[in-house]
Homo-oligomer: A and B are copies of this chain.
Amino acid sequence: MTDGRSTGDAVAIVCGGGQFPAAIVGVLQRQARPFFLFLLRGFADPALARHPHQWIGLGSLGAFLKRAKREHCREVVIIGNVVRPRLSQLRLDLGGLLALPGFIRHYFGGDNRVLSGLASLLTSNGFELRGAHEIAPELVMPEGAAGSLKPTAADREDIEFAFAMLRALSPFDVGQAAVVAGHRILAIEAVEGTRGMLNRLAELRRSGHLDAGTRTGILVKAPKLGQERRIDLPAIGIETLEEAEAAGLRGIAVEAGGTLVDDLARFPERADRAGLFVVAVQPPGAAS
């Protein structure tokens, strides 16, 4: 703890797919904080390899623990998309094998149980799991509308309705997102993910099962109650805007302070261009 680079001052970033790992790296660079990247093979953007890094497999817990300690990391951030692998396809190293019984117990529960299990595995190895929103608060969407378009009073009723439904789903560890239009739930997200759900609505419009003429529907995303927020905070990005526009939606609503945005600087202008309102609201429970 006497040299310039004291033990534990670096952040280990375990990187899945999508734009969020690069966004976190950008934030840490601006903060001048040291970091080391663990790039998940098959998921992470290879462009990230220009930073200090090691490629690892999903089951490489032992390799991760060893290298993270060597790189003076104490805090760990896990960020980016990872499709849950088939258990038989996981290649576990020694550390992974030792952790296996606990992992399997968690694996067969819902997403939230998998993530909580991962958090306690890290803690028991001396690391501290941190949420991306804690390390990089500038990636968290603040309350209010992001662009110049605003939801109407009717839209706000729909948003409340969808938030209430997602809250009712919370105990079942499913459903971080839904699409609502005129007090009618058009779609609920499960394993297909937000992109899969939005693509489905685009398809239903093309086939005439949903009104294709006017823009209707609001994508509503919310953290599950009791969710492991350090890993699995809802996130929207430029891609979400494109997918929502293609699905013919009129807006996106998220929870203020509980949603990551990959590029808040470009987001307002891109939302306007997509013809979508994007609004972060206080969750109903907090407001009332």
Instruction: Please tell me if A183 contacts chain B, counting CB pairs below 8 Å.
Output: yes
Does A192 lie at the interface of the complex (its beta carbon under 8 Å from any beta carbon of B)? yes
Interface with B: A9-17, A118-126, A208-216, A279-287, which one? A208-216
Q: Is A173 an interface residue (CB 8 A)?
A: yes
- A187 at interface (Cβ–Cβ under 8 A)? yes
The complex is assembled from copies of this chain, and their number is 2
Decide: A213 and B86 in contact? CB cutoff 8 A. yes
A86-B211, A191-B204, A211-B86 known; A185+B165 contact, CB < 8 A: no
Most central of A87, A108, A111, A200 by chain B CB within 10 Å: A200
A98 interface hit (Cβ, 8 Å): no
A254 to B183, CA, bound (A): 27
The residue of chain B having its C-beta at the shortest distance from the C-beta of A184 within the complex is B110
Contact with B along A105-121 (1 / 0, CB 8 A): 00011110000000000
Q: When the two chains form their complex, are residues A164 and B172 in contact, meaning their CB atoms are under 8 A apart?
A: yes
Contact of B183 with A110 in the complex, beta carbons under 8 Å: yes
Binary contact readout A261-272 vs B (1 if CB under 8 angstroms, 0 otherwise) = 000000000000
Interface residues, chain A, with chain B CB atoms under 8 Å away: 83, 86-88, 108-111, 161, 164-165, 168-169, 171-175, 178, 182-188, 190-192, 196, 200, 204, 208-211, 213
Selected A-B contacts with CB under 8 Å, 28 pairs: A83-B209, A87-B211, A88-B211, A88-B213, A108-B182, A108-B184, A109-B182, A109-B183, A109-B184, A110-B183, A110-B184, A164-B172, A165-B174, A168-B169, A168-B172, A172-B185, A173-B184, A173-B185, A174-B184, A174-B185, A178-B190, A184-B191, A185-B190, A186-B190, A186-B191, A191-B204, A196-B200, A196-B204
Given A173-B185, A184-B191, 4 other A-B residues pairs in contact with their CB atoms under 8 A: A109-B184, A111-B184, A168-B168, A191-B204
